[in-house]
Structure 1
Amino acid sequence: MTQIKTRASLAGLLALVLTTSPAAAQQSQPQRLETITLNAGMHNIRAEVALTPEQRATGLMYRREMAAHEGMLFVFEQPAPQCFWMKNTLLPLSIAFLADDGTVVNIADMQPQALDSHCSAKPVRYALEMNQGWFAKRGIQAGAKLKGPVFNPQR
């Protein structure tokens, strides 16, 4: 597991992934990405980081299972309304849309292989997908704050 210590490290990680081909998406196999640790209160999350448009488009497609403490963090270049769907995604997921400081904006539950859009309630740079119900089981809702090396402290 790779720990990303600073926001500047994200630039290095982006450079690394841009030099690799999106072969996993072409082969209909789950992609495996670099990970970071996020914290939701006392709960640790091992989050794969999807930085490039190709990585974000593939997301958690084709996965048949995911450990309870694992997820995928989608990182966008600029805050914008973000929408997700579940094409080729086999697992039921919950998605938390996150502000720059890690505050949960809103959470949506998503059904496997559905084409319904699930969107952020306001512009965000981050979205975190976990197994469906993960946030609810831990009492995490809009306004809660996640911590991790990618989030800016509130200004």
Structure 2
Amino acid sequence: MKGTVIYKHSQGSGLAAIVLGAFAVWLGYLVYRSHQPGPLAPLTVLLLAAVLFWRLTVELDDEFIEVRFGPGVIQKKWRLTEIESCGPVRNRWWHGWGIHWIGKKTWLFNISGLDAVELCMKDGKTFRIGTNEPRKLSDLIQGRLRQSAP
């Protein structure tokens, strides 16, 4: 982010942390009981996933909107000048969480819940950013878009 931060919000995934934690404990128990290192590979993958996806942070400044998972290794940034429009939306439950395609042209970035802000880009692509503050984020982005309009 370059300019002054207008909005910054982080959303955690409590359910994912509980599920990953329980599975990690179970795998740890298997390693302990079997005295074999076999389950260490899946345990390592789970711990890495937990570190990378435990939080989703959304940041908005004068030029960009950015989403970052966990410590920021996985991130995506858009210039506000590339956005045609935006608005709050509600994802279907089967859209799930994580980073993936939904539909034919929409990328989803979500960690918890069903609420999101949909960004419709000038090039026809669509992105959805999961948030528990969809109206607030959408209003702030729309305000920035109006200010930058000629």
Whether the TM-score (by the shorter chain) exceeds 0.5 is no
Q: Flag the structure with higher helix content.
A: 2
TM-score normalised per structure 2: 0.28
Structure showing greater relative contact order (alpha-carbon pairs closer than 8 Å, 6 or more residues apart): 1
TM-score (norm 1): 0.27
